[in-house]
Copies of this chain bind each other. A is one copy, B any other.
Amino acid sequence: MAGRFVKTNKGLNVINPYNGNIAGRTFWAGIEELEEAIQAALAARRPMQSLSSYQRYEILMHIKTRLQQRHSEFADLIMQESGKPIRYASGEVDRSVQTITVAAEESKRTPREYISLDWTKAGERKEGLVRYFPVGVVAGIAPFNFPLNLAVHKLAPAIAAGCPVILKPSSSTPLSMLLLAEIIAETNLPAGAVSVLPMDRETGNLLVTDERIALLSFTGSPEVGWKMKAAAGKKKVVLELGGNAGVVITPSADIESALTKCLSGAFSYSGQVCIHTQRIFVHKDIFNVFASRFAEMTSQLISGEPASLQTDVSCMIDEANAQRVEKWVNDAKAEGARVLAGGKRTGTFYAPTILTNTNHSMQVCSDEIFGPVVTLEPYEDFDEAIALLNNTRFGLQAGIFTNNMDEMNRAFESIVAGGIIMNDVPTFRVDHMPYGGVKDSGIGREGVKYAMLDMLEPRILVKSF
């Protein structure tokens, strides 16, 4: 917190969801700690604003370099706190390194505009300089599923933009971010620039309501997110919520590539991914082939302990979530859905599951399942496929497998979502691309440069020339 590690009188044991062991111990921050962090952050605003580009760059590059050096330590910690297979945990560290690198580079490239104002006589011999100033204190609330990288997507842009940041990690998975806080403490950032505070929901909610916070950036569930917006007062709000992303496989696609990518999109980290591939629509002419191959490949996925490099899928974050998924699948079956693979729960583990014969009234279709379940349905023609994709209150990302230019154009024109991914699953994301949802999937964009835009506000200097 604000550059130093603070113990409170309320311990927090972080449980490894795979084996139930304690992954690590830390402390809950209470209202007092939060108040102290806010005060420190407010005091850090001006010093943060005054940092030169090269200072922000060097601070971020230091964090990046040290994260690279301690790569395996971080990967291990992510695996332990989240139960994520080590291959994916390691990949998450790589991505965090990249997110920080991009932030370092963008800290030198904050937007600036130099505009002529003499478009009418009133502006004769006047011009404007537009500089983008940090908005003030940023509050970040991050989810459990990418304990490091999704928090870094708030923290790194904030540093790059010159905003102090108070970060609330998921209380299930706070350890990797607290380790990163150690590294951050090695830098020359002003005290108060960064605080990482595990908090219960009630305390964390003060970040939403406190008027001294200038921006709230939340990644999590739609229900929670939209309530926060209503309670946020004058502050800006960015919401990165979930969805029930769909993908369309057309006859002109490379089917083998589509199968491999759908497998990963549907089941990696047990589908606990905002852009998890939840709904697959396959052209009727290739549906049967696709379905049988996909079921076969799904059944061959290796499930087991996260620490093994062979493991494809492991446990979910907790048994309650596994039970929720179980219930949704059972409900769907009761309404006529057919199981092509999986469909079974063992404790916190839910088997990679393919359903077909589903419809939009089932929760497995219409809500965000956030589990290793995918629906697979045939369609007649491309327009119908687009309509099926769009038949949802969400709009995060969508995937289209095709080699047909017309279909690409119609997809871009018609799919209401933040990202349309050609020949890949909606689960595709690289860390510098604009990322975020429309409709109930959120408001605002992340992707370092795009996240920074919300953390900056323009001021124009009007001068003569």
Q: Are A462 and B421 touching (Cβ within 8 A)?
A: yes
Residue A192 CB within 8 A of the other chain: no
Q: Pick the contact of A131 from B229, B412, B417, B463 — CB < 8 Å?
A: B412
B459 and A423 form a contact (CB under 8 A): no
- CB closest chain-B residue, reference A124: B52
User: In this assembly, does A70 line the interface, its C-beta being within 8 Å of a C-beta of chain B?
Assistant: no
**With A408-B405, A409-B465 as given contacts, are A420 and B230 in contact (CB-CB < 8 Å)?**
no
A402 interface hit (Cβ, 8 Å)? yes
Q: Is the CB of A462 within 8 A of B98?
A: no
**In this assembly, does A406 line the interface, its C-beta being within 8 Å of a C-beta of chain B?**
yes
**Measured between C-beta atoms, what is the minimum distance from A241 to chain B in Å?**
10
In the complex where A234-B229, A443-B234, A457-B438 touch, is A423 in contact with B463 (Cβ < 8 A)? yes
Which of A13-21, A167-175, A428-436 is near enough to bind chain B?
A428-436
A102 interfacial contact with B, CB 8 Å: yes
Number of identical protomers: 4
Residue numbers in B under 8 Å from A87 (CB-CB): none
A387: Cβ under 8 A from any B Cβ: no
- In the assembled complex, the CB of A453 is this many whole angstroms from the nearest CB of chain B, namely 10
Q: Which residues of B contact A431 (CB under 8 A)?
A: 120
- Check A420–B461 contact: CB distance below 8 A: yes
**One of B53, B98, B460 near A434 (C-beta < 8 A):** B460
Is A117 an interface residue when CB atoms closer than 8 A count as contact?
yes
Say whether A465 contacts B413, CB under 8 Å.
yes
Q: Tell me, in angstroms, the Cα distance from A116 to B406 when the chains sit together.
A: 18
- CB within 8 Å of B: which of A131-169? 131
CB of A116 within 8 A of CB of B112, answer: yes
Residues 81-139 (chain A) with a chain B CB within 8 angstroms: 94-95, 98, 102, 105, 108-110, 112-126, 128-131
Give the CA-CA distance A406 to B403 in the complex, in Å: 7
Chain B residues whose C-beta falls within 8 Å of the C-beta of A108 in the assembled complex = 105, 116, 119
A450 to B432, CA, bound (A): 23
In this complex, what residue of B is CB-closest to A128? Answer: B433
Task: Give which listed residue, B226, B404, B420, B461, contacts A460 with CB less than 8 A.
Answer: B420
By a CB distance below 8 angstroms, the chain B residues around A406 are 403
Task: Identify A418's interface contact among B409, B423, B430, B459, CB under 8 A.
Answer: B459
- Looking at A98, A114, A464, the one whose CB has the most chain B CB atoms below 10 A away is A114
Q: Does A458 contact B (CB under 8 A)?
A: yes
- Inter-chain contacts of A460 with B (CB < 8 A): 418-420, 433-435
Contact of A430 among B102, B123, B434 (CB under 8 A): B123
Asked whether any CB of chain B lies closer than 8 Å to the CB of A240, the reply is no
Q: At the interface, yes or no: A445 with Cβ under 8 Å from chain B?
A: yes
Quote the shortest CB–CB distance from A388 to chain B (angstroms). 18
B-side contacts of A114, CB under 8 Å: 112-114, 129-131
* Known contacts A52-B118, A53-B119; A412/B112 CB under 8 A: no
**Contacts A54-B124, A126-B424, A422-B464 given; 11 further ones with Cβ under 8 A?**
A102-B119, A108-B119, A114-B131, A117-B430, A119-B430, A128-B434, A131-B412, A412-B465, A418-B457, A419-B460, A423-B464
Interface, chain A (partner B; CB < 8 A): 52-54, 57, 94-95, 98, 102, 105, 108-110, 112-126, 128-131, 226, 229-230, 233-234, 236, 402-406, 408-409, 411-413, 415, 417-424, 428, 430-435, 438, 440, 443, 445, 450, 457-465
Question: 26 A-B Cβ contacts within 8 A?
Answer: A52-B124, A54-B118, A95-B120, A98-B119, A105-B105, A112-B115, A112-B116, A113-B114, A113-B434, A120-B431, A123-B433, A128-B434, A130-B434, A234-B440, A403-B404, A403-B406, A405-B405, A408-B461, A409-B464, A418-B460, A419-B460, A419-B461, A420-B461, A428-B462, A438-B459, A445-B458
